[in-house]
Structure 1
């Protein structure tokens, strides 16, 4: 037997699919880190000046040089990036010059605050969009369909910052129904804040952020449901005397569920982008606000860490979306 010429056993298709996706994710993280570093270096902000702040006028050249050497600002850009990359591969993302704390700690604390905002907005936007798409697709061409499509197009066209500011002005300033900012009443310790107060401060940011996912989810679900309502199984159910609402709930909703989940996970990048806007408007102490502070004050390690965390979140969301899409149509596996 010619052992050398024997063909190697092929990997299972799903495992090969996952390995390709994970390799792409690793290359994406490396590319994002390099691009974020290049943009931070190209920014017209002196990192030493940004680190010192108002005290920059009282610091002499020797002290500036010592600060630059401490943070590695005196090294060439490629050496700085390779040094940071070597540390990151060992699990050390460096230290934030703004917060004087490890980057991983800052990201963990700020991501927990962002997750408190993003998770309910993600679920609420997905549920509302799916419900509207189901109602529109079940009555294709009727007035509910036309009204829901118009509503979805308007939501998709509205700028996120404009909607957030509108909600803030109307419900916090004019009506006084909700707090205007922050994750809790100012001046209170975390253990002094009640659940009701936390929910009150969460209402407007979640409402502004959840709108981002409603339009795409509603339009995509509407198309899938309308397609299912014209399928043979729906016609057979109609012939047996089933009502449109019954066919939509029992058959079309199941047909549209997995594609809707894929759309939901694929929209994580847009969700994080919207959270940056919502956190700025409502002064929410999350990861998006920390990213803006890191960019304005040239905190390169924190900026790179946030860029990696964001890319990882979006990449994992896209991976789940690809797996769900492959479950709907296995023919996509060979095209991945």
Structure 2
């Protein structure tokens, strides 16, 4: 037993090491692609951040200082290597727009976005699983048609349009929720309460939740239909078991793994959706900072945000791989054999 335990431990370490190396290669590739796209952008950082009129009134010495600050005349390869060297040492650089360390800017913006993404991720997963089970169990009924129609409608609806619609209804017409931002206007930070932040985060979080439900619901519905038509479910029905007992004993075990796979894969969709949602609601989160950095040619900040978001997505997939073996021992054995 001791030898078998050591072998399993070594296999786990080896598998984790391969995934870690894959994550590093992924992050390096993402950073190179992002830097290349920013370098190829036709946006002039001086005109975008200073303005054409102000730029025209400057002397050549002032323009030269600005070009040096924004790194206009530095070769792209050298700029990337300088950034990569600092990143390896734990220095993400200084944001050219915020004039603060990139790590500090990302920390503030990520804390604002974290509530939105976690709330949307949990609600979309739980609600999507419940709706998918109901639609699959009652296939062909009015409940199934309503849930399926809702999911198809939401999956084809642009997230920014849905955000504008919710903003118009609840903030402009009904006036029950704030129109945007993360805190009340004109209130000092010391006077902002948790309830104030919660009220300002409701509409963006609900928007992300609604759009994330559709994919999980439709996927779970199809899996549940396959389970309900399987031989062991027919045998359980012949033994006189009621529907919910069969779903609890046999259905959940077979649909939980695919649902969890899709749920962890949806992390990237939620992060992408938060960019548009935060723009609509003027919510000062990571998505809005990414847009600001991209349009303002703030390369250090944009690269830092890209690396952080890519790491979050990869970490979600990594956790899913670990949980696979806990839920389905067959996958753990298959991974050890390989």
Deviation at 1:30, TM superposition (A): 0.8
| Residue in 2 that maps onto 1:3 | none
Cα pair 1:93 1:305 within 8 Å, conserved:
yes
Asked if residue 261 in structure 1 is aligned to residue 260 in structure 2, the reply is: yes
CA distance in 1, matches of 2:78, 2:306: 20
CA distance in 1, matches of 2:120, 2:80: 36
| Residue in 2 that maps onto 1:21 | 19
Deviation at 1:256, TM superposition (A): 1.8
Deviation at 1:102, TM superposition (A): 0.4
Deviation at 1:226, TM superposition (A): 2.4
1:1-336 paired onto structure 2 within 5 Å: 12-53=10-51, 55-325=54-324, 328=328, 330=331, 333=335
CA RMSD after TM alignment: 2.3
Residues 292, 73 of structure 1: alpha-carbon distance in 2 compared, 3 angstrom cutoff: same
Residues 56-98 of structure 1: per-residue CA shift (max 9 Å, x gap): 3343221222233344432211111111111111111110011
| Deviates most, 169-178 or 275-284 | 169-178
Residues 33, 332 of structure 1: alpha-carbon distance in 2 compared, 3 angstrom cutoff: farther
Cα pair 2:45 2:70 within 8 Å, conserved:
no
Q: Secondary structure at the match of 1:146?
A: helix
Deviation at 1:11, TM superposition (A): 8.3
Deviation at 1:310, TM superposition (A): 1.3
CA distance in 2, matches of 1:124, 1:59: 53
Q: Secondary structure at the match of 1:288?
A: helix
| Deviates most, 274-283 or 69-78 | 69-78
Cα pair 1:217 1:263 within 8 Å, conserved:
yes
Q: Secondary structure at the match of 1:290?
A: helix
Cα pair 2:8 2:336 within 8 Å, conserved:
no
Residues 335, 186 of structure 1: alpha-carbon distance in 2 compared, 3 angstrom cutoff: farther
CA distance in 2, matches of 1:335, 1:153: 40
Q: Secondary structure at the match of 1:205?
A: helix
Which ranges in structure 1 are unaligned for 5 or more consecutive residues?
1-8
Q: Secondary structure at the match of 1:279?
A: helix
CA distance in 2, matches of 1:335, 1:160: 43
Deviation at 1:311, TM superposition (A): 1.0
CA distance in 2, matches of 1:212, 1:18: 33
Residues 85-131 of structure 1: per-residue CA shift (max 9 Å, x gap): 11111111110011010001101110010102111111111111011
CA distance in 1, matches of 2:318, 2:67: 40
Deviation at 1:323, TM superposition (A): 3.6
Cα pair 1:263 1:321 within 8 Å, conserved:
no
CA distance in 2, matches of 1:20, 1:262: 20
Aligned length: 328
Deviation at 1:332, TM superposition (A): 6.7
Residues 332, 278 of structure 1: alpha-carbon distance in 2 compared, 3 angstrom cutoff: farther
Q: TM-score, normalised by structure 1?
A: 0.90
CA distance in 1, matches of 2:10, 2:234: 38
Deviation at 1:266, TM superposition (A): 0.8
| Deviates most, 252-261 or 95-104 | 252-261
Q: Secondary structure at the match of 2:74?
A: coil
CA distance in 2, matches of 1:215, 1:153: 7
| Residue in 2 that maps onto 1:6 | none
CA distance in 2, matches of 1:262, 1:324: 10
